[in-house]
A and B are shown apart, each in its own frame.
Chain A
Amino acid sequence: MRRKISLKPITLLLLLITFVSYGKEQEVHGEPKTDRKTEIKEYIQHHLKDSYDFGLYSYTSDEGEDKHVGFPLPVILWDNGLKVFSSSKFHHGESVAEVGGDFYKVHHSKIYKVDGADGKILEDDHHHATNEKPFDFSITKNVSLIFLVFGIMFFMFSRMAKSYKTNNGMPKGTGRLLEPIVLYVRDDIARPNIGEKHYKKYMSYLLTVFFFVWIVNLFGLTPIGMNVTNNIAITLCLALMTYLITTFSGNKNYWKHIFWMPGVPWPMKIILAPIELLGTIIKPFALMIRLYANITAGHVVLMSIVGMIFLFQNWLGSGLSFLLAFVLAILELLVAALQAYIFTVLSALYFGMAVEEHDHEEGH
């Protein structure tokens, strides 16, 4: 009985997604071709950026007016005091919001302070806005998805944990599906890379990061258009955590291998030390860029090909583009899991390096 009820929101969501994608297709239909190219380009660029309201889709009405479907999100600013207001005040970036005597405007998905109700964004030679930027802690679309994933993960895994207690040490329902994945992370990612002795300490981080990245990547593939992992801030945060954990769990041996590499002549040791030290930063940096670039590139390519469906005005071109987009979407599904896997494996590998114990001091 309980299962039947819990299925309903999922069905509703799927139905919603279908409508949303339908709406998107409608939007581009029946417009001049040249405009459409730039429109698609803008749409992709817009899609890759964060936004202050939760837009499901937008279309141009018969009167030529832009209509947005979605709901506003709270904007939280720190500018001589905390300022909280609804993003509906921006009218999707079209107007200036007035809060407590200060005026704010959205420019390229960022909030800037402007002089007055009809204030302008001033740009320098490189088209960079020179206006003052308040500290922005808004619940943007991406933040709201992080909240959503937070909720989903907590609900899913705490329920799974409970089912072990009520079901005599065996998982029930979703847990049946998740347990092999959890065990995979433990047995094929953590254990071989970190080692039997230390792996337990890092399990919480590895499992959380694996499922977080995976679920967030999957959400990025839904037509709602939320991309969390193609924000450098997100991947930086994740990579920074891997870096901090690695650095703080590094044992004597780890540091010795960085600053005074055993087993090589002393001039080499001096040369190797800065390289190794730089390596500790490059490793998480590569983690950050890899995840960011893979997901961003995947989205750009997929959306471009989806855009091509509407650029080709004949059934052959559009049909082929559709086929390509379909195959690519499936590939992206794989990439979503693969990137989560790679991030977790490399994190585990770095932790393993940090806690490795050498019995053979001069062995290499």
Chain B
Amino acid sequence: MEKLFEDFSLGLFFWQAILFIALILLLKKFAWKPILDSVNEREEGIKNALDSAEKAKLEMQNLQADNQKLLKEARAERETMLKEARDIKNKMIDDAKGEAQEQANKMIQQAQGAIESEKKAAMAELKNHVAGLSLEIAEKVVRAELSNKDKQLKLVETMLDEKSLN
């Protein structure tokens, strides 16, 4: 300890104190401040760049999610549209079928009506024809009666036979 006090040099202490304080102040102004500022600036820059990259990534993800959503929506819409179309188609087919059925029924009805009326007409004509024939036969019978009794009889007989054959 005594040796330490003996070794202590005031001059050295004086110079060290002056030079060291001067060195701190000089370096602070000309070195440490600009160096640390530059480093800070650079670090901030890197941090910002990383942040913005992260942000961009997130945005990208959002965008992708949006796209996915849009795609899904579009797919759903297409699905519904197809379904609607199918429904319309089915409905149209059903409608057409119903209409056709109706038409056909109507036509059948009409045809049936026509057939009925044709039949009626044909029956009427047949009746008329039978009446005419009857009249003719009656006339011929009357005439043959008038000309030959036997013959007439015979004729009537044959005619009737014929008639029954018919």
Interface-lining segment among A32-40, A147-155, A257-265, A268-276: A147-155
Q: How many chain A residues have a CB neighbour from B under 8 Å? A: 47
For A143, give the chain B residue with the smallest CB separation: B15
Among B23, B28, B34, point to the contact of A212 (Cβ < 8 A). Answer: B23
Please give, as numbers and ranges, the residues of chain B lying within 8 Å of A146 by CB-CB distance.
Answer: 15-16, 19-20
Please give, as numbers and ranges, the residues of chain A lying within 8 Å of B131 by CB-CB distance.
Answer: none
Please give, as numbers and ranges, the residues of chain A lying within 8 Å of B15 by CB-CB distance.
Answer: 137, 139, 143, 146
A346 within 8 A of B: no
A68 within 8 A of B: no
A157 near B35 with CB under 8 A, answer yes
Please give, as numbers and ranges, the residues of chain B lying within 8 Å of A153 by CB-CB distance.
Answer: 23, 27
A49 to B9, CA, bound (A): 10
Please give, as numbers and ranges, the residues of chain B lying within 8 Å of A182 by CB-CB distance.
Answer: 35-36, 39
Contact with A along B1-44 (1 / 0, CB 8 A): 00010111111111111011111101110111111101101100
Instruction: Enumerate A22-64 residues with CB–CB distance to B below 8 Å.
Output: 49-50
For B35, give the chain A residue with the smallest CB separation: A161
A35 to B51, CA, bound (A): 73
A142 to chain B, nearest CB (A): 6
Interface bracket on B: 20 to 34
A154 to B30, CA, bound (A): 8
A204 near B11 with CB under 8 A, answer no
B11 near A136 with CB under 8 A, answer yes
For A238, give the chain B residue with the smallest CB separation: B20
Among B16, B26, B27, point to the contact of A234 (Cβ < 8 A). Answer: B16
Instruction: Enumerate A223-241 residues with CB–CB distance to B below 8 Å.
Output: 231-234, 236-238, 241
B4 near A232 with CB under 8 A, answer yes
Please give, as numbers and ranges, the residues of chain B lying within 8 Å of A238 by CB-CB distance.
Answer: 16, 20
Among B11, B24, B26, B45, point to the contact of A137 (Cβ < 8 A). Answer: B11
A157 near B10 with CB under 8 A, answer no
B53 to chain A, nearest CB (A): 19
- Evaluate whether A154 and B32 lie within 8 angstroms (CB atoms) in the complex, with A146-B16, A233-B9 already known: no
A226 to chain B, nearest CB (A): 12
Please give, as numbers and ranges, the residues of chain B lying within 8 Å of A161 by CB-CB distance.
Answer: 30-32, 34-35, 38
B127 to chain A, nearest CB (A): 124
A71 within 8 A of B: no
A208 within 8 A of B: yes
Please give, as numbers and ranges, the residues of chain A lying within 8 Å of B42 by CB-CB distance.
Answer: 169-170
A130 within 8 A of B: no
Among A49, A150, A236, point to the contact of B13 (Cβ < 8 A). Answer: A236
B7 near A150 with CB under 8 A, answer no
Please give, as numbers and ranges, the residues of chain B lying within 8 Å of A212 by CB-CB distance.
Answer: 20, 23
- Evaluate whether A204 and B8 lie within 8 angstroms (CB atoms) in the complex, with A160-B35, A234-B16, A237-B20 already known: no
A158 to B13, CA, bound (A): 26
A143 near B35 with CB under 8 A, answer no
A182 to B33, CA, bound (A): 12
- Evaluate whether A237 and B23 lie within 8 angstroms (CB atoms) in the complex, with A169-B38, A182-B35, A203-B32 already known: no
B112 to chain A, nearest CB (A): 103
Among B7, B11, B23, B41, point to the contact of A138 (Cβ < 8 A). Answer: B11
20 contacts across the A-B interface (CB closer than 8 A): A50-B12, A76-B11, A128-B6, A136-B9, A154-B26, A157-B32, A157-B35, A161-B30, A165-B34, A169-B42, A182-B35, A204-B32, A207-B27, A208-B20, A208-B24, A208-B28, A233-B7, A234-B16, A236-B13, A237-B13
Q: Which 5 A-B pairs have the closest CB atoms?
A: A157-B31, A164-B38, A204-B28, A233-B13, A161-B34
